[in-house]
Structure 1
Amino acid sequence: MSIDDAYEVQRVLASSPGGRTEVVTIDGLGPYLRKKIPLSLVDRQVWAALAECESPRLPHVVATYETPDEFVAVCDFVPADIISEVVAAEKRLPAFEAVRITLEICEALENLHRHGIVHCDISPRNVLLAADGAHLIDLGIARARGTEPSSEGPLLGTHGFAAPEQYGFAPVDERSDVYAAARLLGFMLTGIEPGDDYRAALLDENVVPVPLRMVIKRGNAFEPSARYQTIGAFAEEVNWAASSGDGQAGFSQDTVSCQDEKGPGARINPEVPMAAPGKNGVNLPRGRRVPIPVWIASGLLLICVVAAALPGAVNDLIMAKLSYDSMSALSTQIAEMGDKSQNDLMQTPEEDESSAQMISGNTSEGMGQNSHSSGAAAGSDGIDEVLTIVESAWFVDQTGRLRWVFALHHGGSESAVLYPTVKIVGRDAKGNVVSSNSQVLSLIEPGQTIYFGSSSENGTAIQSVDFVPVNPSKDNLVQSRENAPKFRVGSISEYVDTSDSPHFAGEVFLEGVSDAECETNQLAITVVLRDSDGKMLGGETGFTNCPRQGESSAFDILARALPSSYASVEAYACEW
């Protein structure tokens, strides 16, 4: 009798083309959890790495073996309820409980990611709720970081929870799990799996507190670069949103914690202390002190501030961009704005030599398809805060994706604009709108120019692209900072990795007055390629940590789809 036959199956938990999960015993010992995976689908590197993981919230592997057709892993069995069943019984979970479970799952994912593994299938059926908290199970389709998914493969994760790149768009990485973890949080709060009803439930402030909704929406951004870049950053924002919502929708700060390697009750990022009250009288964690306009009634509850600062229309506009399911929202409205040429609206921002560094590049052939459609947006209510697209470029790559880069300039002199937004509208040869996407930035100061490059789907039919800044409302205007940080990008170099993909690497320095510091923990770094005439050819944005005063932070941006022929490259940094 083989070892496989020695196990006695007590019950089958799940069965699919991707494998079979069973509760088993052997010689009176157990129960154990046994996972059978077809040999053609297994990634043995995942199971080797899992054996080195120390998180108690991940499966503890006690044995592995192979049959002629399958790879088999036997793990300790954890008596627990499946989250999908818990939510079905309770309709939806209180906010504090959903947050606690999310933070515990983030703890498990941080441990996986440190060992180079992406789970790829975080869903309500793969999370257990035991006496000691949440456990993440089923690594049947887990992959090493950077694995290219196959569009023809049968394993695409759980529908509604799997990140878009798992459907063959791009390699999977930590941000794929961020997407699924955000969807899981939304499911626990609403009791509804992703779909039309789910989206409607997320908008109900009595069900999902506004701070958590904002975190979920950013975590669910279609483009990975627009999400939180690590599961730790996502967990920190969930923790912050929960703390800011104390007293609303069942929040209790005493229960918003998780257990990690630092001991019971420690937060995912315990090194983030609360800051002293800011200039608006609001306490936010260090590195998360985005200025927000305040109408002070009680002056103590941050959720009141957020609700007042972001009324429904503005908030919904911001959130629409960050949702994969809402990429085409507002396209009709943008179409009615009409075309505006760059010649009519072009203005040249002051060049900041401390924010860009030029290096030599190739000069063979230029771009075959390039546009600089631009627009300007003035604030509502007669507010003289003008946002202008001063230059832009776009092209459709070999996979049919629309790739674009733009420079947004704030021409006002009084207030900074919170969450400035640019619509990227693609048109076919007849001028019909065939693609509409929004890019939301963090904050833009008077006189500042922000560069940003990314991509979107449905590029094959596009013949022209409009870049249209969205009118900032009065509620999006905040006090400008006298000590706003300035950044200097230097030591830029280009290299090609083992897969012949080009990278741009360098470092960014925080400069300016001595008390200048970042309002956020993260910087967006945008590389911009230009031809010999200085014309923008393309660009790509990556992310890095914000450096401290007098220090630097390194960055490395993959730019596989950018033009191979260019005369120079620049890099720009802004808070994110």
Structure 2
Amino acid sequence: MDDTRTMHAMGIDDAYHVEQVLARGPRGVTELVTIDGVGPFVRKKIPTVLAQRGVWSALGGSTCPRLPRVEATYELPDCVAVVLDYIPGPTLEQVVAERGRLQQNEAVSLAQQICEAVQELHRLGVLHRDLTPANIIVADDGAHIIDLGIARPLTDTANRNRDTTALGTYGFASPEQYGFAPTDVRSDIYSLGCILGFMLTGVYPDDTRYTPLLSDDLCVTPRLRAIVERATAFEPSARYQNVAQFAQALTSPTDPADSYVPAYAVQRPAVNGKPRPRTVIAVAVACVAVVAIVAAAVLIPRWIANADSDGDATSGTSQNAGSQPDPSTGNDGDAADPGTDPATRNPAGDGAAHGGSEYGNPLELVETGWSADESGYVHYAFGLRNTSDSVCIQLPSVEITGRGEDGSVLFSETLIMANAFAGETVYFGSEIGNGNGIVPATVDFTVLEPDDYSYVSSSESASFKADNLSAAPDGYGGEIFSGEISVVKDSARVREQSSMLAVSLVLRDDAGAIVYGYSTFVDWPSEGGSRPFSMDVIDPPAYDSFEVHVQPW
């Protein structure tokens, strides 16, 4: 920045008179200002290193009345100043604090107006990331969004694994905003769902009264409750995939709550006029837990795997299309691998850690598969086998890289799972990608060498089964997969060290190849009881059969 431009910017800055400091913090200062008796305006001074110039540039080209209008921008030596029009009125937070929960028609109307603003932001290529009642003004003409302090351009996603660590407002920020996965438009949809729930219940989502109030039909109708629950699903692929879908659901004549009731006798969709049979396979996976795992670090993965059964990197669709993975040979977790020499992989000592340099990497991929939706998100499932008959691998890691037709990297992430247990094949499914509409030509999957501390001698296990499995239309073009989990073999140690269960869905085509994967997380069933689960899959690809795998997490 040359001296002439600096002096010019400082002259503009001095022309504004500060009427009131509205907020001050490490991300800058927000002031109420006037200039030559005109105003007031809102001026934000953002530290240069934090300023998202692309956000303010995009906002300057918008005419949406529910977004702040940019009056001026200029750069000072240590910050970027943005002057916005001032919207008089209370915040939504203040309205609810004064009046309590809103009438449902008023809450829906305000939610639609907020959607109008957020949809315009997304059209401009901007992700808000901090949609809260405190950042929404309820003016005479309706809702207005303010404060884009941590907004970022949607296009700024290359190699972005943890773009939002500790950003956003607790109770309204999406799970992925806690530093474990990239944010996208579905992160804002999560916040929209929380705001709707806040208006309907009158309390914050992290308040202990929130869930009981949301579940009370006298406070919230089943239709609106279902909308809130879908928008705030833990896994982004289970939410509405864009703001238009969320806004449409608010006024839909059909009741989405009906679609969330598992149906156990459903006519399957027809293919070429003929019913297509769907096979349901319940898979019980025996697992061992030997250390406590920080669940948050592995609950929000966006990963995909595609490799040959020998673990070498490959790409394209699933290999071994007609073959099934080698399952565990029993519930005791001591399944032997006839192709493994125990002398080379069985370390001495109880519970001792042993280095990979001495015993080698016993991990291999038995099969993988993936498909992509029109938004560019890639949905995958894979089976990872520990070929050792007695060594558990803690925190196994894989590197996943998606490439375009020209070989350029579209995304690259390292996945850290919880455990790969002795003699076990673990299945997991989820999604990866930037949601920018670009589908990778290849997805390479590489098993990384475990660290020395990852090798632990253990054979303790627990196993599970999935019963009463069904698939039913959700009313929006997707399907709800549901069932219940029960324990085949229990383990107090596993229960103590694994706080929940990962329930993984695998869809296969008529050749047996994996075409889709998805996971949800549930608490352990009570002793002798069962735990229901439900997964809402948005626009699944054509499939012939599905199966469910369960493992401690």
TM-score (norm 1): 0.51
Aligned length: 350
Query: CA offset at residue 143 of structure 1?
Result: 0.7
Determine if the alignment matches structure 1 residue 435 to structure 2 residue 465.
no
Query: CA offset at residue 165 of structure 1?
Result: 1.5
2: CA distance, partners of 1:129 / 1:172 = 27
Query: CA offset at residue 16 of structure 1?
Result: 2.7
Match of 1:226 in 2: 238
525, 538, 561: which one pairs with 2:541?
Answer: 525
Q: Conserved in 1, the CA contact under 8 Å of 2:163 and 2:181?
A: no
Match of 2:200 in 1: 189
The one-letter code sitting in structure 1 at the alignment partner of 2:60 is A
Q: Conserved in 2, the CA contact under 8 Å of 1:36 and 1:73?
A: yes
Determine if the alignment matches structure 1 residue 79 to structure 2 residue 88.
yes
122, 127, 130: which one pairs with 2:131?
Answer: 122
Pairwise mapping of residues 537-576 of structure 1 onto structure 2 (< 5 A)? none
Q: Conserved in 1, the CA contact under 8 Å of 2:471 and 2:482?
A: no
Pairwise mapping of residues 111-260 of structure 1 onto structure 2 (< 5 A)? 111-145=120-154, 147=156, 156-195=167-206, 196-240=208-252, 244=253
2: CA distance, partners of 1:88 / 1:163 = 23
Pairwise mapping of residues 193-342 of structure 1 onto structure 2 (< 5 A)? 193-195=204-206, 196-240=208-252, 244=253, 284=254
Q: Cα gap change, 1:411/1:139 in structure 2, threshold over 3 Å: closer, same or farther?
A: closer
2: CA distance, partners of 1:21 / 1:40 = 17
Q: Deviations over 1:118-162 (max 9, x none)?
A: 111100111011111111111111011154568697760111111
The one-letter code sitting in structure 2 at the alignment partner of 1:15 is R
Q: Cα gap change, 1:69/1:227 in structure 2, threshold over 3 Å: closer, same or farther?
A: same
Q: Conserved in 1, the CA contact under 8 Å of 2:161 and 2:182?
A: no
Match of 1:45 in 2: 54
The one-letter code sitting in structure 1 at the alignment partner of 2:311 is G
Alpha-carbon RMSD across the aligned residues, in angstroms, is 4.9
423, 428, 434: which one pairs with 1:404?
Answer: 428
Structure 1 stretch displaced more, 13-22 or 112-121: 13-22
Q: Cα gap change, 1:131/1:64 in structure 2, threshold over 3 Å: closer, same or farther?
A: same
Q: Cα gap change, 1:130/1:456 in structure 2, threshold over 3 Å: closer, same or farther?
A: same
Q: Cα gap change, 1:440/1:239 in structure 2, threshold over 3 Å: closer, same or farther?
A: farther
Query: CA offset at residue 15 of structure 1?
Result: 2.8
Determine if the alignment matches structure 1 residue 365 to structure 2 residue 281.
no
Structure with higher Rg: it is 2
Structure 1 stretch displaced more, 39-48 or 409-418: 409-418
Pairwise mapping of residues 61-100 of structure 1 onto structure 2 (< 5 A)? 61-100=70-109
The one-letter code sitting in structure 2 at the alignment partner of 1:208 is V
Q: Conserved in 1, the CA contact under 8 Å of 2:162 and 2:181?
A: no
Q: Cα gap change, 1:372/1:193 in structure 2, threshold over 3 Å: closer, same or farther?
A: farther
Structure 2 residues not aligned, in runs of 5+ = 1-9, 264-281, 287-305, 314-324, 330-368, 370-380, 385-395, 399-413, 419-426, 431-464, 507-512, 523-529
1: CA distance, partners of 2:247 / 2:88 = 26
Query: CA offset at residue 439 of structure 1?
Result: 7.2
Q: Cα gap change, 1:201/1:469 in structure 2, threshold over 3 Å: closer, same or farther?
A: closer
Q: Conserved in 1, the CA contact under 8 Å of 2:91 and 2:134?
A: yes
1: CA distance, partners of 2:29 / 2:226 = 36
Q: Conserved in 2, the CA contact under 8 Å of 1:422 and 1:438?
A: no
Q: Deviations over 1:471-524 (max 9, x none)?
A: 99xxxxxxxxxxxxxxxxxxxxxxxxxxxxxxxxxxxxxxxxxxxxxxx99622
Query: CA offset at residue 175 of structure 1?
Result: 0.5
- 1:40 is paired with a residue whose SS is helix
Query: CA offset at residue 12 of structure 1?
Result: 2.9
Query: CA offset at residue 30 of structure 1?
Result: 0.5
Query: CA offset at residue 2 of structure 1?
Result: 3.3
1: CA distance, partners of 2:243 / 2:205 = 21
Q: Conserved in 2, the CA contact under 8 Å of 1:61 and 1:74?
A: yes
The one-letter code sitting in structure 1 at the alignment partner of 2:172 is F
Determine if the alignment matches structure 1 residue 454 to structure 2 residue 454.
no
- 2:150 is paired with a residue whose SS is coil
Query: CA offset at residue 94 of structure 1?
Result: 0.9
The one-letter code sitting in structure 2 at the alignment partner of 1:454 is Y
Q: Which has the higher contact order (CA 8 A, sep 6+)?
A: 2
Q: Percent identity?
A: 38
Q: Cα gap change, 1:373/1:453 in structure 2, threshold over 3 Å: closer, same or farther?
A: farther
- 1:75 is paired with a residue whose SS is strand
Determine if the alignment matches structure 1 residue 35 to structure 2 residue 51.
no
Query: CA offset at residue 28 of structure 1?
Result: 0.2
Query: CA offset at residue 457 of structure 1?
Result: 8.4
Structure 1 residues not aligned, in runs of 5+ = 245-283, 285-301, 316-336, 342-360, 375-390, 442-448, 459-467, 473-519, 529-535, 539-576
2: CA distance, partners of 1:232 / 1:373 = 45
Q: Deviations over 1:195-218 (max 9, x none)?
A: 122222211221121111111111
Query: CA offset at residue 367 of structure 1?
Result: 8.4
The one-letter code sitting in structure 2 at the alignment partner of 1:197 is R
Q: Cα gap change, 1:527/1:413 in structure 2, threshold over 3 Å: closer, same or farther?
A: closer
Q: Cα gap change, 1:43/1:86 in structure 2, threshold over 3 Å: closer, same or farther?
A: same
Q: Cα gap change, 1:371/1:81 in structure 2, threshold over 3 Å: closer, same or farther?
A: farther
Q: Conserved in 2, the CA contact under 8 Å of 1:179 and 1:220?
A: yes
Match of 1:560 in 2: none
Q: Cα gap change, 1:420/1:413 in structure 2, threshold over 3 Å: closer, same or farther?
A: closer
Q: Cα gap change, 1:521/1:455 in structure 2, threshold over 3 Å: closer, same or farther?
A: closer
Query: CA offset at residue 424 of structure 1?
Result: 8.0
Match of 1:512 in 2: none
Q: Cα gap change, 1:171/1:527 in structure 2, threshold over 3 Å: closer, same or farther?
A: farther
